[in-house]
Amino acid sequence: MLAIKNTSENTAYITEQAYLEGEKIAEVRHEYVDGVVYAMAGTSLRHNDIAINITSLLRPLTRGTPCKVNASDVKVRAQRSKAYYYPDVIVGCQRDSTDSHFLEKPCLIVEVTSKSTEWKDFTEKLIAYQRLASLQVYLIVAQDQPQVTLFYRDAEGAWDVTRFDDLEQTLTLPCPECTLSLADIYEGVDFTQPAEPDA
């Protein structure tokens, strides 16, 4: 998802509480990083197709469990980074009681990346997400080619990374426990056509 910064040079610092209250009535979603608000632009059809594919694959796996799958309208709070983001897909197995508009303890986060968001997904968000104690996996899914980057905690709790770039490959997730194929993640995506950039 593309973030557009409010660009006034004299932009006042916005408190977390003011951001959260404003977001409840805002017509456009915003992400928040340490007092600065970023308006969220729309996504391409391909971006949306991939996110829906992943949500549809995960949803049946969480039925009858404490885990819930949410799509891009639910925020995650990265408290240690003083940030709130809207991941494309988020899974949480521990429900937070403090607020019904964001999650603080996700176990899986997915970002469908594009040329305009790639840097942020692989740097700023990667750092913020890896600081979440509950997070087990962070997936960055490319939309212009079959490529999934899997950041995961190893047995000692340290972060490691694996990249998948073949539609015949599968990846295993610990939360929810499942195996996903790249073919299913990219179902219906025609890579012979150029990807339209996110708005």
Cβ 50 vs Cβ 185: under 8 Å:
yes
Two tokens, residue 92 = 């949480």
Instruction: Find the helix or strand (DSSP H, E) in which 112 lies.
Output: strand 106-113
Tell whether the model's pLDDT for residue 10 goes beyond 70.
no
- Tens-place pLDDT, residues 134-192: 999 999 999 999 999 999 999 999 999 999 999 999 999 999 999 999 999 999 999 88
At the topology level, CATH places domain 43-185 in: tt1808, chain A (3.90.1570)
User: Residues 53, 152, 72, 145: what is their CA dihedral angle, to the nearest 10 degrees?
Assistant: -50
Tell whether the model's pLDDT for residue 41 goes beyond 90.
no
How many Å apart are CA 20 and CA 24, to the nearest integer?
7
Two tokens, residue 38 = 């970023």
Specify the range with the lowest mean pLDDT, choosing from 41-45, 53-57, 103-107, 148-152. 41-45
Provide DSSP, 135-173. Answer: --EEEEEESSSS-EEEEEE-TTS-EEEEEE--TT-EEEE
| pTM as predicted | 0.90
